[in-house]
Amino acid sequence: MPPPRAILTYHSLDPSGAVTSLAPATFRRQMDFLAETATPVLPLSKLLHSDRGLALTFDDGYRNLLHHAVPLLAQRQLPATFFINSAAAHAGGPFLDWSALREAAAAGVEIGAHGIEHLDLACVPLPQAIAQLDGCRRAIEDRLGVAVRTCAYPFGRSTPQLREWARTAFHLTCGTRLRYLRANDDTADLPRLDVYYLRNVAWFRRVHRPSGRAYLQFRALLREARTRWSVAP
Ligand SMILES: [Zn+2]
């Protein structure tokens, strides 16, 4: 079995216990574990050309990342990508506004597109779906002066036509299929491991071990079955 490569998905770092939240103390323990074990943590684009390692991604651009993720990642020199919605960045509130995003980018965080709003792009006409991702990219480039090369579909949802466009528009685009990377994965719909399934530190420590892989495969099957039969999670 080849050594695993995986993209991890985080959302909010807060102690609420919501499905999209991870407690900041747990996040710190996870990052300590990666540092102690010298696990290779790579920028997203480099992971694709590496034979092992992890990449860290954070969806939706929650404001708490500025306090609970940015300094910790910078201290440990861990690369990460924040996928943000440009309308949320204009609004601020619970989300990182442009000034906070500038701070995160200055600390080394890559900022990627996640749509103008957080729409299900498989349920809107193709031109609107493209305008959502392209508009977000342009807003980030205008406000932060950095090139946007990465993207993530809201809810991980896309269509074959949108993926065809994304393949030419971005270096890579992430979905939410729960699995490790494989050699010939579509760069317009990369699978990721949602940290919701790794919030137990014992499981997080096994992310690179066969037992961890078996556990995540099992969780992916359960998730697929729930989706197929529309049974509430
Ligand atoms: Zn999202």
> What's the 153 CA to ligand 1 centre distance in angstroms?
7
Distance, in Å, from the CA atom of 115 to the CA atom of 124, rounded to the nearest integer, reads 13
> What's the 139 CA to ligand 1 centre distance in angstroms?
17
Q: What is the pLDDT of residue 225?
A: 73
Distance, in Å, from the CA atom of 35 to the CA atom of 161, rounded to the nearest integer, reads 40
Token reading at 141: 């480039």
Task: List pLDDT tens digits, range 151-161.
Answer: 999 999 999 99
Please name the fold of domain 5-229: TIM Barrel (3.20.20)
> What's the 10 CA to ligand 1 centre distance in angstroms?
10
Distance, in Å, from the CA atom of 87 to the CA atom of 6, rounded to the nearest integer, reads 29
Judged against a pLDDT cut of 60, whether residue 15 lies above it is answered with yes
> What's the 114 CA to ligand 1 centre distance in angstroms?
7
Distance, in Å, from the CA atom of 23 to the CA atom of 26, rounded to the nearest integer, reads 5
> What's the 12 CA to ligand 1 centre distance in angstroms?
10
> What's the 1 CA to ligand 1 centre distance in angstroms?
32
Q: What is the pLDDT of residue 229?
A: 62
> What's the 156 CA to ligand 1 centre distance in angstroms?
8
Task: List pLDDT tens digits, range 35-84.
Answer: 888 899 999 999 999 988 999 999 999 999 999 999 999 999 999 999 99
**pTM metric for this prediction:** 0.93
